[in-house]
Amino acid sequence: TMQHIFKEIFKAGIELIEDDHRKALLVSRKKKPENTVVQIDGEAIGREKKTIIAGPCAVESFEQVEAVAIALKSQGLSIMRGGAFKPRTSPYDFQGLGFEGLKILRAVADKHDMKVVTEIVNPAHVEEALNYIDVIQIGARNMQNFELLKEVGSQKKPVLLKRGLSATIQEFIYAAEYIMSQGNGNIILCERGIRTYEKATRNTLDITAVPILKKETHLPVLVDVTHSTGRKDLLLPAAKAALAIEADGIMVEVHPDPAVALSDAMQQLNIPEFEHFMNSLKSSRLLAAD
């Protein structure tokens, strides 16, 4: 067993190096103890005031997006989400409007003085997309699309990075590091549920990922209550839990008429439901740092 101890000392050496490695991560709180606040053209994510990002699953038309924008605005929100490039399980499902969708988002946002978050899926689209959007979203299916991560890391707009379908927290942190190592530290992390055996919800919201991510990194952390639960009746409870555990904000899907939505019909709030959602959060005292 003397041999064993020497093996362990050797192993300890390796772990020390690994530890140094992790310490050296640019996204690590060991590297930068204070919180990163991501600025989106005047809006800050990561301050005491919580951020709600809402909008339709997919951009379908100017009218649809504008109806949502007006609803958001009237609730005091200024960041809108909406998908133009939709990564869908089947090639025969609606794939989004592409750049046409980005233009709609921009036009509505400009008209109503809002900011736009939208997913980009191809490294070759990033440069052109920057003309239209304020925050680049990396979706769950692309969390380890390292080519895309490097591409969005080498420009300056903020990136909203979603946790992969079954990514570990460690892998999630390394994905953020891919972006930051290219020079872009404007990263917002987003927990969106993980894949487990439980089928009562679409995914299992890993709520304690929020404090772990905030302890391990200096980045702001949102919770996507729509994709983590996949159930309208759980959006408000999940949002309350997320805010209580000190997430920096919430993402939620809103559509003027979910029944005819081209994707995610069952899990998007309609506008009155969204107003109820917002009012409930406001009265819960969990939202604001007044």
Q: Does 142 bind a copy of itself (CB under 8 A)?
A: yes
Name which of residues 11 to 40 contact a copy of itself (CB under 8 A): 11-13, 15-16, 19, 21
> With contact defined as beta carbons under 8 Å apart, do 65 and 56 qualify?
yes
Q: Does 195 bind a copy of itself (CB under 8 A)?
A: yes
Structure tokens, 55: 């909008």
State the minimum distance, in angstroms, from the CB of residue 228 to a copy of itself. Answer: 8
The stretch among 43-51, 73-81, 102-110, 206-214 that binds a copy of itself (CB under 8 A) is 206-214
Q: Applying CB under 8 A, which of residues 117, 159, 187, 205 lies at the interface with a copy of itself?
A: 205
> With contact defined as beta carbons under 8 Å apart, do 139 and 103 qualify?
no
Q: Does 8 bind a copy of itself (CB under 8 A)?
A: yes
Q: Does 146 bind a copy of itself (CB under 8 A)?
A: yes
Name which of residues 258 to 287 contact a copy of itself (CB under 8 A): 284-286
The helix/strand/coil state of 167 is coil
CA distances from 181 to 127, 139, 168, 184, 243 (A): 19, 19, 20, 7, 29
Q: Applying CB under 8 A, which of residues 31, 32, 103, 240 lies at the interface with a copy of itself?
A: 240
Structure tokens, 144: 């380890």
Structure tokens, 148: 């895309």
Ramachandran class of 169: left when φ > 0, alpha when ψ lies in -120 to 50, beta otherwise: alpha
State the minimum distance, in angstroms, from the CB of residue 42 to a copy of itself. Answer: 30
Nearer to a copy of itself, 72 or 238 (CB): 238
Name which of residues 102 to 121 contact a copy of itself (CB under 8 A): 121
Q: Applying CB under 8 A, which of residues 5, 33, 272, 283 lies at the interface with a copy of itself?
A: 5
Structure tokens, 51: 């951020």
Q: Applying CB under 8 A, which of residues 210, 250, 252, 287 lies at the interface with a copy of itself?
A: 210
> With contact defined as beta carbons under 8 Å apart, do 270 and 64 qualify?
no
Q: Rounded to whole angstroms, how far apart are CA atoms 251 and 80?
A: 9
State the minimum distance, in angstroms, from the CB of residue 107 to a copy of itself. Answer: 25
Q: Does 246 bind a copy of itself (CB under 8 A)?
A: yes
Nearer to a copy of itself, 111 or 195 (CB): 195
Which residue is it, tokens 């440069």? 127
CA distances from 289 to 36, 49, 50 (A): 18, 5, 8
The stretch among 41-49, 106-114, 242-250, 255-263 that binds a copy of itself (CB under 8 A) is 242-250
Name which of residues 40 to 79 contact a copy of itself (CB under 8 A): none
Nearer to a copy of itself, 9 or 289 (CB): 9
DSSP conformation letters of 2-57? HHHHHHHHHHHHHHHHHHHHHHT-TTBTTT--SPP-EEETTEEESSSS-EEEEE-S
> With contact defined as beta carbons under 8 Å apart, do 188 and 206 qualify?
no
Name which of residues 153 to 182 contact a copy of itself (CB under 8 A): 164-166, 168-171, 174, 177-178, 181
Q: Does 224 bind a copy of itself (CB under 8 A)?
A: no
